[in-house]
Each structure stands twice: as structure tokens, then as C-alpha cells.
Amino acid sequence: MADAPLITSEEFDTLEAEWAALWATVGDATPFQHPAWYRVWLRHFGSGTSPVFLSIRRGEHLVGVAALDMDREEARQLGDHNVQDYAGPLWLPGEEGSGGGRGAGMASGGPHAGSGVLGAGEGLADARRTGGGGRGGRLGIK
């Protein structure tokens, strides 16, 4: 389907300006969904994390971003889970379901919805790399 979203892992520096522009267009976005917040958090608290930044696109248009911390068994929202009340995936209004699975449920359920953990086999955590290794490869949902 041509209209299906494409979920791609991108380097933070590559995605940052477009992410900030998306944030500016989402009326109820919080400061904790802005890329500058993640840059500062990573600088001060990010050692020991494995950050992955997913872009969700329709064609060339960025419609969503999810910042995740990956390990072997699960993906968590990037950041301290004790202060994640107003963070989480950022979506254009009407695109909340574009990421699929439980990740979309966290976004559509409001800032307090979901646990922020995606177990193996659930939504975005079940994405498999279909192009290239390491960060920057395309992701496909199983």
C-alpha cells in the first residue's frame, strides 16, 4: 500500500531539525517531546543507554517520532521512566496509529498512557531491520 507509513531508524543529528519542526506543528506537544530535551538528557544521563530514534513517514513527510532505548528483550521510551509523564512518541494529529502496536497505543492514550515498555513481539519493538545493519537501517513491522 503506497499510503502505508515507513518506519526508519535515523541518527539523532540527521532527524533533529525535522523533528523540531514537527514538534512546532503539534499544538499539545510538551517540552519533553522536543529533540532539545533528548539532547540534554542524553548528555547528562545517557551513558549506558542504547538510543534509537524512529521516524514515521508518509511519503517524504515526517508524521511521527519515537525515541527509544533498546536492549535485547525490549524497547523502552528513552529517558527516566519515573519522569516520563509528558514525554513519549510525538505524532501529527490523526497519525497516532501510524507506528502500529502498543507504541501507537501509548501515543493515542494521552501523556500518561501505557507503561513505556514494548516487549519483544509487540508493535515497534517487534520491528526487524530490512536494510543494512546498525542505526539508520529501515525497519519493517512483522
Any idea where the domains of the chain sit in the sequence? 6-141
DSSP assignment of 111-139: TT-S-SEEETTSGGGGEEEEESSSTT-EE
Q: What is the pLDDT of residue 99?
A: 61
The CA distance from 117 to 68, in Å, is 9
pTM of the model: 0.69
- Judge whether residue 118 has pLDDT over 80: no
Residue 76: pLDDT above 90?
no
48 and 80 Cβ atoms separated by less than 8 Å: no
- Report the pLDDT value the prediction gives residue 51, as an integer from 0 to 100: 94
Handedness of CA 80, 82, 85, 89 (dihedral sign): positive
- CA nearest neighbour of 75 among 114, 42, 18: 114
Please write the tens of the pLDDT for every residue from 31-49.
999 999 999 999 999 998 9
* Higher-scoring residue by pLDDT: 97, 41: 41
